[in-house]
Amino acid sequence: MVDEKLSQLEFTQLADDLAKLGRNFYRRGWALGTSGNFSAVLTRDPLRLAITATGVDKGALAASQVVQIDSNKKVVEGSLRPSDEAVVHLAVVRLCDAGSVLHTHSVWSTLLSDAYADQGGFWIEGYEMLKGLAQVRTHEHREWLPILENSQDLPALEREIETILRLHPNAHGFLLRRHGLYTWGHDLAQAKRHVEILEFLLEVLGRGRSWKT
Amino acid sequence: MVDEKLSQLEFTQLADDLAKLGRNFYRRGWALGTSGNFSAVLTRDPLRLAITATGVDKGALAASQVVQIDSNKKVVEGSLRPSDEAVVHLAVVRLCDAGSVLHTHSVWSTLLSDAYADQGGFWIEGYEMLKGLAQVRTHEHREWLPILENSQDLPALEREIETILRLHPNAHGFLLRRHGLYTWGHDLAQAKRHVEILEFLLEVLGRGRSWKT
Amino acid sequence: MVDEKLSQLEFTQLADDLAKLGRNFYRRGWALGTSGNFSAVLTRDPLRLAITATGVDKGALAASQVVQIDSNKKVVEGSLRPSDEAVVHLAVVRLCDAGSVLHTHSVWSTLLSDAYADQGGFWIEGYEMLKGLAQVRTHEHREWLPILENSQDLPALEREIETILRLHPNAHGFLLRRHGLYTWGHDLAQAKRHVEILEFLLEVLGRGRSWKT
Amino acid sequence: MVDEKLSQLEFTQLADDLAKLGRNFYRRGWALGTSGNFSAVLTRDPLRLAITATGVDKGALAASQVVQIDSNKKVVEGSLRPSDEAVVHLAVVRLCDAGSVLHTHSVWSTLLSDAYADQGGFWIEGYEMLKGLAQVRTHEHREWLPILENSQDLPALEREIETILRLHPNAHGFLLRRHGLYTWGHDLAQAKRHVEILEFLLEVLGRGRSWKT
């Protein structure tokens, strides 16, 4: 009983944090037009994931628009339907042992995920900002950012993601072509940091391309 | 009498929502210099449209700067003059059965409406963001965004718009050359989503052009 | 006595409005690093001009950082020193019968004032946004934006401005090379609108140039 | 005793000011992903430096995340660990007699620090904005912005900085390659002004390069 109450408080807090993050990312232009979805693990066993509901305006995201689901995507708390991409979130939680998964749609991720789609990803290398990624200790790090073809067949996409993440076990994120970025972390703060770092580096690469034609 | 009071409350609420949206779009740079105008249907029969007044600063837009007009553009509530482009709003409401019409002036819509004017519009295709447009179920969607020549002859422009919307009954918006974007939705929330999605995609196309010279 | 009190209230209100505008323009990146200065006429006869003090952070601009000067740049109210460019403000007030003069430093005005310096200015033509400039009734308007060489010799600069404004009596603003934009209006609201319109159009022209190389 | 209390109050005030500045720079995109660190001198003899703690989110920077260190980087107030780059801050305080040192990671500083790395820096010349740098009286000023190779060997980096600052005693800042900007001032307000001026000019140079291909 005490545990349940504690967990309820934790869910309220996480839902608040996810709502605040959503409003922040909306202001930056990373979650316009109801795009983007954000989740954080509440308990591991059994798995309980707090995740944003489908189709909500991230500029006015409220804690009441975050629901709680189990490992089968069944809603166990909250009255709204979870994001359709909840299956991707659950896959990343399972495969990467992530405590939080964040998905943004930015202009630069959209452009670069298309420009480098043929080679299946691209290297980001030599930037100090890379040191903000978990386990990275030096700017001399080489980060491979995989790109997957976009798909509306979510179970097929989930299998693709599983394959890619096994191939690149040290990846901190991946792009869906003409769609956006997925990244994660052991908790919400780390996942947020990863979004900011990867979006920053995508902007650096994207703007730099205007110089070399 | 009860209905009238209810409608008055609804008008106050819609005016508040339009004012909030105007200040949001101003901050994004989509409604600078008193540009932009925004409307939402209050009742269908008889038609009552809440619409922003002409010449007001969208950065400080107040509910009191929204007026209520009928299908002949006559003000039935409020003391200010409605936007000159009210006739375009009324045409879109009539032709598309829209519940809200939003018009923004952004840098990217201005540039692209000029660059593609000769071909009368352009395709937006293959982006996940397109799924946020009403009735679109897959990123494999192909959206034609028509471009009309800009004009100060508003009745003539209204006829042009009627022609274009009959030619492209599935369009979610159109551009006026070197002027801006019109889009709409069944309600204000959907129309707002359409603005954000189309402006996002215009920025993607606009920035991508800097890479290909 | 009554007049004096009224005028004092008006000064307090104008100082508040100028401070709010300064913080707004700072957020947009048009007045970074203490750059930019803003003024509005309080009385015509004798001339009293409310103007921002020199060297203040526009991101935290307070009404107490606005001083009142006469036509000789003498401070008649307030303890701070007025902007060094007060002489330019006074010249524009005198020559254009302006009620408010606003000076911003933006990235695009800096770039374009340099790119077109050799031809002494450039045309802005065919944009709907131009209709927001005073007396402009159609987007088919052609606006000449003059460029002057930057100078630290303010009396010489004042004479240059006088020459340029006599040559282009319909101009709504001018650029100082590698420095920024001056524009004005019959009151503060109109001058603010002119800043937003001209800065918007400079961004359109500036971004468009990246496409044509 | 009185002095100690005074100093405590001053530390609280400085910590508040540094937190406010950090949140401002985060909003501008200059301190994403926990990047950036900021310091200000509290007393000279003995040296006490208020500096941001390592790994904190600048978007939610609180005064409690600022610590006080001595000239050996030992924490004398506060429970968090200071930024790893505190040694660079201490070196700049010592070599430039600075009262505040600010370090930002922007997109344009990252790009330009890489583009001009081979020549060890670049000139910024002829811009009015340069007048906002301490001791600069005219836009005809020529500012050399040195670039150092990035390094994780902080003592070696400190020696490099010492060499560069002796070679360029009038420099107002320097770049670390693919890393970011360091600048300083006699107090926090001046250092903040220097960040805004240099970041503005880097954006001008960066955007201008897209025109010349």
Residues D133-145 pLDDT 10s = 999 999 999 999 9
Query: In chain A, which residues have their Cβ closer than 8 Å to the Cβ of D113?
Result: none
The closest alpha carbon to D134, from D100, D180, D85, D90, belongs to: D100
Sign of CA dihedral C79, D136, C93, B60: negative
CB contact under 8 A, C33 and D204: no
* B37 within 8 A of B114, measured Cβ to Cβ: no
CB contact under 8 A, C210 and D211: yes
Judged by DSSP in three states, D193 sits in: helix
As a whole number, mean pLDDT of residues C74-79 equals 95
**CA separation for the pair B115, B209 (Å, rounded):** 11
Encode pLDDT of C137-163 as tens digits. 999 999 999 999 999 999 999 999 999
The pLDDT value recorded for residue D157 is 95
* C200 within 8 A of D152, measured Cβ to Cβ: no
Size of chain C, expressed as the number of residues it contains: 213
pLDDT over threshold 70, residue C173 = yes
DSSP for D178-191, please give it: TTEEEEEESSHHHH
CB contact under 8 A, A179 and B127: yes
Q: Does B166 touch chain A (CB under 8 A)?
A: no
Q: Residue D86: phi, psi to the nearest 5?
A: -55, -30
Q: In what order do the strands lie in the sheet with D121-125?
A: D75-77, D66-69, D47-52, D37-44, D100-104, D180-185, D173-176, D142-148, D121-125
For residue C153 the two structure tokens come to 């010799």
- With a CB cutoff of 8 Å and minimum separation 6, the contacts of A175 are A109, A112, A113, A121, A145, A146, A147, A148, A181, A182
CB contact under 8 A, C32 and D197: yes
DSSP for B25-42, please give it: HHHTTSS-TT--EEEEEE
CB-side neighbour CA atoms (13 Å) of A211 = 15
C128, C207, C208: residue with CB nearest B105 = C128
Encode pLDDT of C14-62 as tens digits. 999 999 999 999 999 999 999 999 999 999 999 999 999 999 999 999 9
* A198 within 8 A of A145, measured Cβ to Cβ: yes
**CA separation for the pair A17, B31 (Å, rounded):** 31
Judged by DSSP in three states, A70 sits in: coil
Token look-up 């001032």 returns D185
Inter-axis angle of helices B188-209 and B107-115, to 10 degrees? 60
The pLDDT value recorded for residue D192 is 98
The pLDDT value recorded for residue A213 is 46
Distances (CA, A) of A20 to A65, C11, C193, D32: 12, 40, 33, 16
- C38 CA to chain B: closest CA distance, Å? 17
- With a CB cutoff of 8 Å and minimum separation 6, the contacts of B175 are B109, B112, B113, B121, B145, B146, B147, B148, B181, B182
Q: Does D166 touch chain C (CB under 8 A)?
A: no
* B42 within 8 A of B16, measured Cβ to Cβ: no
* B152 within 8 A of B176, measured Cβ to Cβ: no
Which of A16, A23, A28, A139 best probes binding to D when mutated, by most D CB atoms within 10 angstroms?
A139
**CA separation for the pair C177, A72 (Å, rounded):** 63
The β-bridge partners of A103 are A37, A182
Q: Residue B117: phi, psi to the nearest 5?
A: -60, -40
Query: In chain C, which residues have their Cβ closer than 8 Å to the Cβ of D189?
Result: 57
For residue B124 the two structure tokens come to 């937006």
* A183 within 8 A of A172, measured Cβ to Cβ: yes
Encode pLDDT of B143-166 as tens digits. 999 999 999 999 999 999 999 999
The pLDDT value recorded for residue D1 is 47
Judged by DSSP in three states, C55 sits in: coil
* Residues lower than pLDDT 70 in chain D: 1-3, 212-213
pLDDT over threshold 90, residue A176 = yes
Cβ-based burial of C115 (10 A; exposed 0-12, middle 13-18, buried ≥19):
middle
CB neighbours (10 Å) of residue D144?
Answer: 16
Token look-up 């402006």 returns B199
What residue in A sits closest to D113 (Cα-Cα)? A127
Q: Does B194 touch chain A (CB under 8 A)?
A: yes
* B108 within 8 A of B181, measured Cβ to Cβ: no
Q: What is the pLDDT along chain B (213 residues), one digit of tens a residue?
A: 456 777 888 999 999 999 999 999 999 999 999 999 999 999 999 999 999 999 999 999 999 999 999 999 999 999 999 999 999 999 999 999 999 999 999 999 999 999 999 999 999 999 999 999 999 999 999 999 999 999 999 999 999 999 999 999 999 999 999 999 999 999 999 999 999 999 999 999 999 998 864
For residue A98 the two structure tokens come to 């992530």
In chain C, alpha helices (H)? 2-27, 86-96, 107-115, 154-167, 188-209
CB contact under 8 A, C178 and D139: yes
What residue in D sits closest to C105 (Cα-Cα)? D129
Confidence of residue A210 (pLDDT cuts 50, 70, 90): confident
As a whole number, mean pLDDT of residues A8-32 equals 96
CB contact under 8 A, A189 and D32: no
Q: In what order do the strands lie in the sheet with C173-176?
A: C75-77, C66-69, C47-52, C37-44, C100-104, C180-185, C173-176, C142-148, C121-125
Partners for D (CB, 8 Å, 3+ pairs)? A, C
pLDDT over threshold 60, residue C213 = no
Under DSSP, the state recorded for C191 is H
**In chain A, % of residues over pLDDT 70:** 97
Q: Does D13 touch chain C (CB under 8 A)?
A: no
The pLDDT value recorded for residue A110 is 98
Q: Does A204 touch chain B (CB under 8 A)?
A: no
The closest alpha carbon to D88, from D186, D173, D28, D196, belongs to: D173
What residue in C sits closest to B107 (Cα-Cα)? C204
Judged by DSSP in three states, B88 sits in: helix
Q: Does B206 touch chain A (CB under 8 A)?
A: no
Q: What residues of chain D, 106 to 125, have a C-beta less than 8 Å from chain C? A: none
Encode pLDDT of C131-144 as tens digits. 999 999 999 999 99
Query: In chain B, which residues have their Cβ closer than 8 Å to the Cβ of C200?
Result: 29, 32-33, 105, 107
Element (H, E) at C145: strand C142-148
* C37 within 8 A of C28, measured Cβ to Cβ: no
As a whole number, mean pLDDT of residues C100-110 equals 98
For residue A23 the two structure tokens come to 């409003």
Cβ-based burial of D1 (10 A; exposed 0-12, middle 13-18, buried ≥19):
exposed
Sign of CA dihedral D92, D98, D103, D104: negative
Mean pLDDT over each residue of chain C, to the nearest integer: 95
* B78 within 8 A of B49, measured Cβ to Cβ: no
The pLDDT value recorded for residue A212 is 63
